[in-house]
C-alpha cells in the first residue's frame, strides 16, 4: 500500500516535489474544516498542519493509521502531544528554518532605527520634511554586542561583519571556538557586553534566566546613546525600563519585532524619531515558509519510511516499559543536566559523565536525559530525549560517557564533570531502586533531593555569612525549607531550598555582597 499524507494548511507548492520524488501520495486540502478532517483522517499515514488545525485527542483517535504529525512551524500548543505519544504517533516540527529571515530583519531594523527611516517615511506621507531631526549614525566600526550567539545570533554576526562592525557576544552556553570562527569576542559577563557595546541585539530564548534580563540596572550599565534591538521574544527587555531609558536619553535608538503582549495595547513613544517597530514578522518571508515546508515534508516522509528525523517533538514509546530504577535514573540525569549549566555555565561545553556500578548500562538513557535537562535551560526550542543529542551536537556540546565499577559504598553513582577538570563536578545516585539524590557538588559530599526552587551561592568563607544571607532572604518574604553550607580553605558553598522562585532583585542583591563570588538558581 502506498503511503498517504494529508496537508490541512497552506504549504508552498515547491515542497510537493519531495512527495513526488519519494513516491508518497498527498492530498493538499488547505482550509479544510475540522469536521471534514475527522471524517477522512482515518485514510492517512501522516498529517501536516499549521497552528490553525487543532490536532486533538478525537482527531488522533480517528486517525487509526496515523504514524506521524508534522507541524509546519515551531509552536505545538495546538497538538495533543501526550495523546500522540500514548498512541505511538511521532510529532515533528521545524525549528531553525527561519534563521536567515530573522537575521536579515535584525540588520534591517538596525539600520532603520539608527537612521530614523520609519520616522522619515511617516513624515513624508504626512507632508513633513524631518531632515534636521534625523541625524543618525553609521554602523561602521561600532561595537555590536550580541546576546545569544545561537542560530540567529550567528547569522547576524556574519552579516554585521560585512558592515565593518566589531563583534562581541555574551552567551554562557557556547564554546569559545564557535565565537572565534565567527570573528566574535565572547565575553564572560553580561555586564561586560553592556558596557562595551554601541549597539546591542538580543537573540536568546525566553527562559527563567532571560525573562526581564534587560531592565533598569542593565540600562544604567550601558553607554549613553546605546542602540538596542529585540527581535527574539517579548519579555526579555523590561519595557517600562526601556521607555524610561529612551525618555532620559540613555537609549539613542531601538527596534522591536516582539512585545511582552502581542499586539501591544498601546505604545507610548509615538514621537521618538529613532525607533523601528514591526509586528512579529521575523519569520514572515517566502523563503522561510519554503524552508519550513521542505523541512516538515522531509521529516514526515523520513518518519514514515523509518529513517532518522531532524526535529522530533515527542517520544512515542510506552513509559510504563521502564523499571522504577530506570525511571529514577532518567529523572536524576535530567535534573543534573539542568543543574550543570546553572552552576558552571558551559564555557568549555565538553562534559564527561562517569556511570559506575549498576548504572553502567544506562549510557544512552543518561546521555539523552542529561542533555534534555541541560538544553531546556538554554533554549526554548522543544527539547526532548530524542532530539537532545542532535541539538547538543549542533551547539557544539561534546559529551562522553565512561563506565566502571561502583565507588565507595554506592551501588550506583553518576559523576558529571567539565572536561577541564577542576572542581566543576556534580554526583548523584539512586537509592533503594527509586530514590534519586544529588550527593556531591564541587567535591563537597552531602545528600539532597533535586526538587523545588534551589539557590546556590559561593562565598569567600568568613563568620556571619549564613545569618546575613538568611536575613536578606527572609526580609524579602521567602521561606527557606532547607539550608546547607559547606566550607573548605576559605571557600564556601551554600544550597538553599526556597518556597518560591527567587526574584531577580534578590539574586542581584546577593550577587552584590562583597563575600559572594557566584549565585545560581535552578527550578527543578
Ligand atoms: P538558538 O537556540 O539557536 O540560540 C539561542 C542562543 O541563546 C543559544 O546559543 C543559547 O546558548 C543562548 N542563550 C540561552 N540562554 C542565554 C542566556 N541566559 N544568556 C545569553 N545567551 C543565552 O535559537 P535561535 O533559533 O537563534 O532563536 C533565537 C531567538 O529568536 C529565540 O527566542 C526565538 O524564539 C526567536 N525567534 C524570533 C522570531 C521572530 O519572528 N522575531 C523568529 C524565530 C525565532
Looking at residue 460, which CATH number applies to its domain? 3.30.70.260
Tell me if residue 262 is catalytic: yes
- Mean pLDDT value of segment 463-468: 88
Q: Which atom of ligand 1 is nearest to the CA of 202?
A: 29
Ligand 1 and 98: CB distance under 6 A: yes
Protein residue whose Cα sits closest to atom 32 of ligand 1: 205
Q: Which residue spans within 24-118 are E strands per DSSP? A: 25-28, 46-49, 68-71, 90-92
**Is 64 a residue whose pLDDT tops 70?**
yes
If asked whether residues 420 and 495 sit together in one domain, one would say no
- Of residues 464 and 125, which shows the higher confidence score? 125
If asked whether residues 150 and 81 sit together in one domain, one would say no
**Is 348 a residue whose pLDDT tops 70?**
no
Are 6 and 48 spatial neighbours (Cβ–Cβ below 8 Å)?
A: yes
If asked whether residues 155 and 263 sit together in one domain, one would say yes
If asked whether residues 129 and 266 sit together in one domain, one would say yes
Whether 307 is covered by a domain: the verdict is no
**Is 55 a residue whose pLDDT tops 70?**
yes
**Is 107 a residue whose pLDDT tops 90?**
yes
3-class DSSP assignment, residue 18: helix
Whether 315 is covered by a domain: the verdict is no
Q: Which three cell numbers stand for residue 372?
A: 534534555
Q: Which atom of ligand 1 is nearest to the CA of 170?
A: 20
Residue 378 alpha carbon to ligand 1 centre in Å: 9
Residue 390 alpha carbon to ligand 1 centre in Å: 17
**pLDDT tens figures, 293-322:** 999 999 999 999 878 788 888 766 544 456
**pLDDT tens figures, 138-154:** 999 999 999 999 999 99
pLDDT band at 451 (very low <50, low <70, confident <90, very high): very high
Are 202 and 232 spatial neighbours (Cβ–Cβ below 8 Å)?
A: yes
Mutational pocket test of ligand 1: of 175, 182, 188, 203, the residue with most ligand atoms within 8 Å of the beta carbon: 203
Structural domain count of the chain? 4
- Mean pLDDT value of segment 17-23: 95
Q: What per-residue confidence (pLDDT) applies to 312?
A: 82
DSSP symbol at 406: -
DSSP symbol at 222: S
Residue in this structure with the C-alpha cell 526535529, named with its chain if needed: 311
d(CA 147, CA 172): 10
- Mean pLDDT value of segment 216-220: 97
Q: What per-residue confidence (pLDDT) applies to 452?
A: 94
- Mean pLDDT value of segment 151-171: 97
Residue 491 alpha carbon to ligand 1 centre in Å: 35
**Is 190 a residue whose pLDDT tops 80?**
yes
Residue 232 alpha carbon to ligand 1 centre in Å: 6
Strand-pairing partners, residue 214, are 237
**Is 432 a residue whose pLDDT tops 50?**
yes
Chain-wide mean pLDDT for the chain? 91
Catalytic residue among 71, 115, 203, 233: 233
Nearest CA to 174 out of 367, 379, 400, 395 is that of: 395
If asked whether residues 353 and 434 sit together in one domain, one would say yes
If asked whether residues 489 and 436 sit together in one domain, one would say no
Q: What per-residue confidence (pLDDT) applies to 177?
A: 85
Residue 233 alpha carbon to ligand 1 centre in Å: 8
Of 79-83, 287-291, 347-351, 411-415, least confident by mean pLDDT is: 347-351
Whether 496 is covered by a domain: the verdict is yes
**Is 330 a residue whose pLDDT tops 80?**
yes
Catalytic residue among 35, 126, 261, 262: 262
Segments forming the whole domain that contains residue 514: 452-524
Whether 282 is covered by a domain: the verdict is no
Tell me if residue 319 is catalytic: no
**Is 108 a residue whose pLDDT tops 50?**
yes
Q: Which atom of ligand 1 is nearest to the CA of 236?
A: 32
**Is 62 a residue whose pLDDT tops 70?**
yes
**pLDDT tens figures, 479-510:** 999 998 999 888 899 999 999 999 888 998 99
If asked whether residues 380 and 434 sit together in one domain, one would say yes
CATH number at residue 226: 3.40.50.720
Whether 27 is covered by a domain: the verdict is yes
Ligand 1 and 231: CB distance under 6 A: yes
**Is 359 a residue whose pLDDT tops 70?**
yes
Protein residue whose Cα sits closest to atom 1 of ligand 1: 150
Are 45 and 22 spatial neighbours (Cβ–Cβ below 8 Å)?
A: no
Residue 67 alpha carbon to ligand 1 centre in Å: 31
Whether 311 is covered by a domain: the verdict is no
- Mean pLDDT value of segment 333-355: 86
- Quick count: other Cβ atoms within 10 Å of Cβ 403? 14
Q: What per-residue confidence (pLDDT) applies to 318?
A: 44
Ligand 1 and 381: CB distance under 6 A: yes
If asked whether residues 57 and 179 sit together in one domain, one would say no
Nearest CA to 441 out of 456, 454, 426, 451 is that of: 426
Ligand 1 and 148: CB distance under 6 A: yes
Residues with Cβ within 8 Å of 214's Cβ and at least 6 positions away in sequence, in order, are 200, 202, 228, 230, 236, 237, 238, 241, 242
If asked whether residues 407 and 365 sit together in one domain, one would say yes
CA atoms within 13 A on the CB side of 391: 31
H/E run at residue 301 = helix 286-304
Domain boundary among 399, 426, 448: 448
Domain boundary among 302, 335, 350: 302
Q: What per-residue confidence (pLDDT) applies to 406?
A: 67
Nearest 10 degrees: Cα torsion 325, 330, 332, 333: 130
Q: What per-residue confidence (pLDDT) applies to 175?
A: 77
Q: Which atom of ligand 1 is nearest to the CA of 210?
A: 18
d(CA 240, CA 196): 23
**Is 347 a residue whose pLDDT tops 70?**
no
Protein residue whose Cα sits closest to atom 20 of ligand 1: 171
Whether 310 is covered by a domain: the verdict is no
Are 292 and 49 spatial neighbours (Cβ–Cβ below 8 Å)?
A: no
- Of residues 39 and 403, which shows the higher confidence score? 39
Nearest CA to 390 out of 300, 287, 299, 290 is that of: 299
Residue 62 alpha carbon to ligand 1 centre in Å: 37
**Is 110 a residue whose pLDDT tops 70?**
yes
pLDDT band at 407 (very low <50, low <70, confident <90, very high): confident
pLDDT band at 398 (very low <50, low <70, confident <90, very high): confident
Are 382 and 346 spatial neighbours (Cβ–Cβ below 8 Å)?
A: no
- Mean pLDDT value of segment 215-232: 97
Residues with Cβ within 8 Å of 98's Cβ and at least 6 positions away in sequence, in order, are 282, 283, 285, 288, 291, 292
Protein residue whose Cα sits closest to atom 37 of ligand 1: 232
d(CA 166, CA 151): 19
Ligand 1 and 152: CB distance under 6 A: yes
Catalytic residue among 280, 310, 437, 484: 280
- Mean pLDDT value of segment 51-75: 93
Of 1-5, 175-179, 299-303, 345-349, least confident by mean pLDDT is: 345-349
Whether 319 is covered by a domain: the verdict is no
Ligand 1 and 379: CB distance under 6 A: yes
If asked whether residues 370 and 226 sit together in one domain, one would say no
CATH number at residue 360: 3.30.1330.90
If asked whether residues 130 and 182 sit together in one domain, one would say yes
Ligand 1 and 233: CB distance under 6 A: yes
If asked whether residues 72 and 162 sit together in one domain, one would say no
Mutational pocket test of ligand 1: of 205, 279, 381, the residue with most ligand atoms within 8 Å of the beta carbon: 205
d(CA 523, CA 371): 16
Q: Which three cell numbers stand for residue 5?
A: 499524507
d(CA 178, CA 155): 12
pLDDT band at 243 (very low <50, low <70, confident <90, very high): very high
Reply yes or no: is the peptide bond before residue 263 cis, omega within 30 of 0. yes
Tell me if residue 233 is catalytic: yes
Residue 516 alpha carbon to ligand 1 centre in Å: 29
Report the percentage of the chain scoring pLDDT > 90.
68
**Is 382 a residue whose pLDDT tops 90?**
no
Amino acid at each position: 500500500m502506498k503511503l498517504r499524507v494529508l496537508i490541512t494548511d497552506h504549504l508552498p507548492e515547491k515542497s510537493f516535489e519531495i512527495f513526488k520524488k519519494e513516491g508518497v501520495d498527498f492530498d493538499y486540502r488547505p482550509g479544510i474544516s475540522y469536521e471534514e478532517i475527522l471524517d477522512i483522517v482515518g485514510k492517512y499515514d501522516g498529517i501536516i498542519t499549521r497552528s490553525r488545525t487543532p490536532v486533538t485527542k478525537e482527531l488522533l483517535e480517528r486517525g487509526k493509521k496515523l504514524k506521524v504529525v508534522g507541524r509546519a512551524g515551531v509552536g505545538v500548543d495546538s497538538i495533543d502531544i501526550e495523546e500522540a505519544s500514548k498512541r505511538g504517533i511521532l510529532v515533528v516540527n521545524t525549528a531553525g528554518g527561519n534563521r536567515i529571515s530573522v537575521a536579515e530583519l535584525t540588520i534591517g531594523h538596525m539600520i532603520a532605527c539608527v537612521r530614523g527611516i520609519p520616522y522619515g517615511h511617516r513624515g513624508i506621507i504626512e507632508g513633513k520634511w524631518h531632515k534636521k531631526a534625523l541625524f543618525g549614525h553609521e554602523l561602521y566600526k561600532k561595537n555590536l554586542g550580541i546576546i545569544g550567539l545561537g542560530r540567529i545570533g550567528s547569522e547576524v554576526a556574519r552579516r554585521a561583519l560585512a558592515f565593518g562592525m566589531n563583534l562581541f557576544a555574551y552567551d554562557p552556553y557556547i564554546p569559545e571556538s564557535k565565537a572565534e570562527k565567527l570573528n566574535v569576542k565572547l565575553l564572560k559577563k553580561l555586564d561586560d557586553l553592556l558596557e562595551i557595546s554601541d549597539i546591542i541585539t538580543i537573540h536568546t530564548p525566553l527562559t527563567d534566566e532571560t525573562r526581564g534580563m534587560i531592565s533598569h540596572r542593565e540600562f544604567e550599565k550601558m553607554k549613553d546613546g546605546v542602540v538596542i534591538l529585540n527581535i527574539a521574544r517579548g519579555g526579555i527587555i523590561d519595557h517600562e525600563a526601556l521607555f524610561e531609558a529612551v525618555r532620559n536619553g540613555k537609549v539613542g535608538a531601538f527596534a522591536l519585532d516582539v512585545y511582552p503582549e502581542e499586539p501591544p495595547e498601546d505604545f507610548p513613544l509615538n514621537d521618538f524619531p529613532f525607533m523601528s517597530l514591526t509586528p512579529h514578522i521575523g519569520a514572515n518571508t517566502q523563503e522561510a515558509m519554503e524552508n519550513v515546508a521542505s523541512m516538515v515534508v522531509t521529516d514526515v516522509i523520513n518518519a514514515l519510511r523509518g529513517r532518522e528525523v531532524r526535529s522530533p517533538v515527542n517520544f512515542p514509546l510506552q513509559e510504563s516499559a521502564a523499571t522504577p530504577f530506570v525511571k529514577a535514573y532518567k529523572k536524576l540525569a535530567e535534573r543534573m543536566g539542568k543543574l550543570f549549566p546553572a552552576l558552571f555555565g558551559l564555557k568549555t561545553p565538553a562534559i564527561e559523565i562517569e556511570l559506575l556500578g549498576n548504572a553502567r548500562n544506562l549510557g544512552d538513557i543518561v546521555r539523552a536525559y542529561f542533555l534534555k535537562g541541560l538544553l531546556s535551560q538554554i533554549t526554548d526550542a522543544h527539547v526532548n530525549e530524542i532530539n537532545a543529542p542532535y541539538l547538543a551536537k549542533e551547539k557544539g556540546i561534546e559529551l562522553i560517557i565512561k563506565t566502571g565499577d561502583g565507588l565507595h559504598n554506592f551501588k550506583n553513582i553518576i559523576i558529571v564533570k567539565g572536561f577541564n577538570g577542576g572542581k566543576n563536578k556534580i554526583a548523584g545516585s539512586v537509592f533503594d531502586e527509586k530514590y534519586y539524590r544529588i550527593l556531591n557538588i564541587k567535591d563537597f559530599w552531602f545528600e539532597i533531593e533535586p526538587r523545588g526552587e534551589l539557590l546556590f551561592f559561593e562565598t569567600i568563607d568568613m563568620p556571619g555569612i549564613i545569618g546575613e544571607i538568611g536575613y536578606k532572604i527572609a526580609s524579602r518574604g521567602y521561606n527557606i525549607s532547607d539550608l546547607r553550607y559547606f566550607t573548605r580553605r576559605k571557600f564556601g558553598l551554600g544550597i538553599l531550598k526556597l518556597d518560591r522562585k527567587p526574584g531577580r532583585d534578590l539574586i542581584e542583591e546577593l550577587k552584590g555582597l562583597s563575600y559572594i563570588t557566584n549565585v545560581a538558581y535552578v527550578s527543578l
